[in-house]
Amino acid sequence: MPKPEIEFVDMDTHYGWRAVEGDTLGIKEKILSFDAETQSYTRLLKFPPGIKTSETLVHDFWEEVLIVEGELMDLAKKQTFGAGFYACRPPGMKHGPYHIPRGCITFEIRYFLGRGLKEGLEGRSFPIWISGKEGEREQIFKMRRMVNSGYTGRDQEKIKKHIAELEKEGVPAPASTPTAYEVISQGITFDTEIEVVGEKTSGEAEFVLLCSGNEVYVGVGSDHTDRELESVSIIKSKQVCPNILSRQVWNLKEVRKNWDTMILRSWVKNERGEKVLYQEAPLSALMSPEDLMKFVQNSLDDGNLDGVVIFSGTIPILTEKIHYSGYFEVELDDPATARRIQCAYAVKVLDYLKGGRG
């Protein structure tokens, strides 16, 4: 949908500052308006004093920036720009790195011209934030296909436990494990609220691999599933609900050495609105990223992983039964580096037509 209609509002009271997802430098933002379809947005960005970045930035979108307060030093140009200075950057224009000795606030508009994010009948593009040792950089990920994996545990006994959990809900056992399901590429989302058509839906904590040429990025997400429809058709149950993905990702090469000790967790909210730990297990409980990619590659008709998003399959739940919660939160925790990536969302059941559901 397009950006919302907004009449004049007091920016100081109507919007709050929040941490930029994945940032480690203390940068904060106020998102003033946002278009979920094109990922275009308008925001204020606040840089604390003393920040120094190290990367030259290049975007796949238009960016307009006005310095509202303070100043920044462009280290490449060896120039300092203060309040009132304006920049308009087309896709591909290099800028940065920057030093901001006394702090700075900028007004920023980002948008795409000549296209939305959808590119043809197969695939779409979207920005991801790659977090690494030297900070964070933004990159456009060009997606062709999305695959949801299932029953990918290394421990066959735990796989049987998960299958038994699903059988209690009327979901038939698979003919073989692991499994793979093709999913509509437009079904991926970064939203903090999703809409579903039934009461019995639930999230699943999963790591996510984004394959891009010779690079593979690791995110965290949820394969939200309609459990009633799952008893009829597993693949249809995955099409009717979106796949939720963290915007922040890691480069697999940087985190591979800690892989098996990283922890995958999820939380739901109970009837009192309290967060309850729902899933927790090290990534050693699931197939290695290499084995998972090989399995998916062998399952694809063209054997081409470039542009493929792979949801890993989930881990067993800690509660006695599947929880149909209006809230789901998932994180991937790397204890060795004290770094985490997360996503969370509310679940809204559609029920706004008179006469009830058909």
Q: What is the pLDDT of residue 175?
A: 73
CATH domain 11-116 topology = Jelly Rolls (2.60.120)
Q: What is the pLDDT of residue 6?
A: 83
Minimum mean pLDDT range among 5-19, 181-195, 300-314: 5-19
Segment 247-273 mean pLDDT: 95
Q: What is the pLDDT of residue 43?
A: 94
pLDDT in tens, 234-247: 888 888 999 999 98
Under CATH, which number does the domain 142-349 receive? Answer: 3.90.850.10
pLDDT in tens, 63-108: 999 999 999 999 989 999 999 999 999 877 889 899 999 999 999 9
As a whole number, the mean pLDDT across the chain is: 87
Q: What is the pLDDT of residue 36?
A: 67
Beta bridge partners of 67: 106
Report whether 213 contacts 306 (CB < 8 A).
yes
Q: How far is CA 37 from CA 114, 115, 187, 274, 344, in A?
A: 14, 11, 12, 32, 19
Q: What is the pLDDT of residue 356?
A: 60
H or E element that contains 37: none
Q: What is the pLDDT of residue 115?
A: 41
Residue 332 clears pLDDT 90, i.e. is over it: yes
Q: What is the pLDDT of residue 2?
A: 66
Tokens of 244: 């939720």
pLDDT in tens, 174-221: 777 899 999 988 899 998 999 998 899 999 999 999 999 889 999 999
H helix and E strand count, the chain: 6, 26
What is the sign, positive or negative, of the torsion defined by CA atoms of 90, 94, 97, 101? negative
- Using the structure block, give the residue that is written with the tokens 């009837």: 271
Task: Specify the pTM.
Answer: 0.67
High-pLDDT (> 70) share of the chain, %: 93
Q: How far is CA 351 from CA 195, 196, 198, 323, in A?
A: 10, 10, 9, 20
High-pLDDT (> 90) share of the chain, %: 54
H or E element that contains 344: strand 339-349
Beta bridge partners of 72: 81
Are 11-116 and 142-349 equal in CATH topology? no
Residue 120 clears pLDDT 50, i.e. is over it: no
Higher local confidence (pLDDT), 220 or 172: 220
Q: What is the pLDDT of residue 252?
A: 97
- DSSP letter for each residue of 267-325: EEE-TTS-EEEEEEEEGGGB--HHHHHHHHHHHSSS---TTEEEE-----BSSSS----
Task: Map out the domains of the chain as residue ranges.
Answer: 11-116, 142-349
Which of 141, 145, 127, 313 is CA-nearest to residue 215? 141
Report whether 279 contacts 264 (CB < 8 A).
yes
